[in-house]
């Protein structure tokens, strides 16, 4: 038997979540599949919705070319646009859309001699202060780019810093500043909402949405009632069972000491697979029964408490996250977010299904 650590990727759930996102927001929807589809496999995710997706968004040219080489014909947006002018010919040849987020990019475009004009998403920094043109510079940039020979079409966009906080004043200010800045300007298309805004901020509705994490079935608002279906199920198996006496400890650092005689299951999954080392007391499900980790997560193995699961045996299935154990909850136990867990999942076998 080969190592039983497996990430099952349910592409039907991915497709379902795309439809949920698109329906909730209305208009068109770019599926964000940067960073290898948040660790799920960008090509497989793209292929699963290629015949219905309005487009895809990735972080860079290399990620877009991987999709083009796999035969993806849908629009693909580069979320940071170009990093240097030398990328422009390939961007044009491969029919890619670009975010324009900085004045230096505006100037390059205005001076460029392109084989074909580009579809651009002009980004405003409405308060996140990461990338985007300051509101004071935005109208002039938009006017100079509109109708320019390098430009086919412009979508006005911005991104929220706190959309996952439903009572955020900051998000309200971002929306107000964006709307005030584009007032009176010619902008047919607008895009503001990431997953959290699609789920929680109806004021951010516009012609385009940009869902990411919700497509993978993790709700960034952590609400209980959700129509989203988890896409990744990270499973492994019990490879050894130990009986330790009250007072004995297990694992590195002996951080767990048994308060009663304890049955310990050793599971073939560790931090080298992307399971977060900090999640020392996260939940896990053994053959469908909920239990929790004990002791320290090591590189290739972790421990679960089997004391109250007498039917567990070597070979029992362990869900580390997926349907019974939410990735959000494991992330919380580790002081991080599901995004990071998904992106870090590695070494395990990836198995795809589409029902």
Ligand X SMILES: *Cc1c(COP(=O)(O)O)cnc(C)c1O
Q: Which of 212, 217, 265, 276 binds ligand X (CB under 6 A)?
A: 212
For residue 195, state whether it binds ligand X (rule: CB under 6 A). Answer: yes
Q: How far is the CB of 57 from ligand X (least distance, A)?
A: 7
Distance, CA of 216 to CA of 15 (rounded, Å): 9
By CB under 6 A, the residues from 298 to 317 that bind ligand X are none
Phi, psi of 310 (to 5 degrees): -60, -25
Q: How far is the CB of 32 from ligand X (least distance, A)?
A: 4
CB 353 within 8 A of CB 11: yes
Stretch that binds ligand X, among 111-119, 210-218, 262-270, 319-327 (CB under 6 A): 210-218
State the catalytic residue, choosing from 18, 22, 34, 237. 34
Which token pair is 217? Answer: 């079935």
For residue 209, state whether it binds ligand X (rule: CB under 6 A). Answer: no
Q: How far is the CB of 250 from ligand X (least distance, A)?
A: 37
Query: How far out from the chain centre does Cα 21 lie?
Result: 14
* DSSP annotation of 79: T
Number of residues that bind ligand X (CB under 6 A): 12
Q: Based on CB atoms, which residue is closest to ligand X, 6 or 337?
A: 337
State the catalytic residue, choosing from 73, 172, 246, 252. 252
138-145 and 103-111 helices, crossing angle to 10°: 20
By CB under 6 A, the residues from 44 to 83 that bind ligand X are 79
For residue 211, state whether it binds ligand X (rule: CB under 6 A). Answer: yes
> In Å, how far are 319, 339, 340 from 327, measured between CA atoms?
11, 9, 10
Beta-carbon neighbour count of residue 114 at 10 Å?
15
Distance, CA of 245 to CA of 307 (rounded, Å): 11
Q: How far is the CB of 215 from ligand X (least distance, A)?
A: 8
By CB under 6 A, the residues from 99 to 158 that bind ligand X are none
Q: How far is the CB of 337 from ligand X (least distance, A)?
A: 9
Phi, psi of 324 (to 5 degrees): -85, -35
Q: Based on CB atoms, which residue is closest to ligand X, 217 or 322?
A: 217
Q: Which of 213, 244, 266, 334 binds ligand X (CB under 6 A)?
A: 213
Query: What is the four-CA torsion angle of 258, 259, 263, 268, rounded to 10 degrees?
Result: -40
User: Which element (helix H / strand E) includes 154?
Assistant: strand 151-158
Q: Which residue has the tokens 């129509």?
A: 227
Stretch that binds ligand X, among 5-13, 208-216, 253-261, 275-283 (CB under 6 A): 208-216
Stretch that binds ligand X, among 107-115, 174-182, 212-220, 238-246 (CB under 6 A): 212-220
Taking the CA of residue 113 as centre, how many other CA atoms within 13 Å lie in the half-sphere pointing to its CB? Answer: 0
Query: How far out from the chain centre does Cα 87 lie?
Result: 25
Q: Which of 5, 32, 91, 282 binds ligand X (CB under 6 A)?
A: 32
Q: Which of 10, 25, 40, 210 binds ligand X (CB under 6 A)?
A: 210
Beta bridge partner(s), residue 189: 155
Q: Which of 15, 22, 25, 159 binds ligand X (CB under 6 A)?
A: 159
How far the first Cα of the chain sits from its last, in Å, is: 26
Contact characters 175-194, ligand X, x per CB under 6 A: -------------------x
Residue closest to ligand X when measured from CB atoms:
212
Q: Which residue has the tokens 């999709």?
A: 67
Q: How far is the CB of 308 from ligand X (least distance, A)?
A: 37
Beta-carbon neighbour count of residue 192 at 10 Å?
28
Distance, CA of 179 to CA of 13 (rounded, Å): 35
Q: Based on CB atoms, which residue is closest to ligand X, 228 or 325?
A: 228
Q: Based on CB atoms, which residue is closest to ligand X, 226 or 257?
A: 226
Q: How far is the CB of 341 from ligand X (least distance, A)?
A: 13
Please indicate whether residue 252 is annotated as part of the active site: yes
Which token pair is 145? Answer: 């780019």
Q: Which residues here bind ligand X, judged by CB under 6 A?
A: 32, 34, 79, 159, 194-196, 210-213, 220
Query: So which residues are the catalytic ones?
Result: 34, 252
């Amino acid at each position: 038997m080969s190592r039983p650590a497996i990430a099952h990727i349910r592409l039907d759930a991915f497709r379902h979540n795309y439809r949920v996102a698109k329906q909730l927001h209305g208009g068109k929807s770019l599926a964000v599949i940067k960073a290898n589809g948040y660790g799920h496999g960008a090509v497989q995710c793209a292929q699963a919705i290629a015949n219905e997706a309005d487009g895809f968004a990735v972080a860079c040219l290399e990620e877009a070319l991987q999709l083009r080489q796999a035969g993806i014909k849908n629009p693909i947006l580069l979320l940071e646009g170009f990093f240097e002018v030398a990328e422009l010919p390939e961007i044009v040849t491969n029919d890619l859309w670009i975010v324009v987020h900085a004045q230096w990019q505006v100037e390059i475009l205005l001076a460029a001699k392109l084989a074909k004009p580009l579809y651009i998403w002009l980004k405003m920094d409405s308060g996140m202060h990461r990338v985007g043109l300051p509101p004071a510079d935005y109208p002039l940039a938009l006017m100079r780019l509109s109708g320019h020979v390098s430009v086919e079409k412009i979508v006005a966009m911005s991104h929220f810093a706190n959309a996952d906080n439903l009572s955020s004043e900051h998000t309200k200010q971002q929306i107000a500043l964006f709307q005030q800045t584009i007032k009176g300007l010619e902008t047919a298309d607008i895009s503001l909402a990431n997953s959290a805004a699609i789920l929680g901020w109806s004021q951010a509705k516009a012609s385009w949405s940009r869902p990411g994490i919700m497509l993978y079935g993790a709700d960034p608002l952590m609400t209980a009632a959700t129509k989203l279906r988890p896409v990744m199920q990270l499973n492994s198996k019990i490879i050894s069972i130990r009986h330790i006496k009250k007072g004995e400890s297990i694992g590195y650092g002996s951080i767990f000491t048994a308060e009663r005689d304890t049955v310990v299951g050793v599971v073939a999954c560790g931090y080298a697979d992307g399971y977060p080392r900090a999640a020392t007391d996260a939940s896990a499900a053994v053959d469908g029964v909920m239990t929790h980790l004990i002791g320290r997560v090591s590189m290739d193995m972790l421990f679960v408490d089997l004391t109250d699961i007498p039917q567990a045996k070597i070979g029992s299935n362990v869900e580390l996250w997926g349907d019974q154990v939410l990735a959000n909850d494991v992330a919380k136990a580790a002081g991080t977010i599901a995004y990071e867990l998904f992106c870090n999942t590695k070494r395990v076998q990836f198995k795809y299904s589409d029902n």
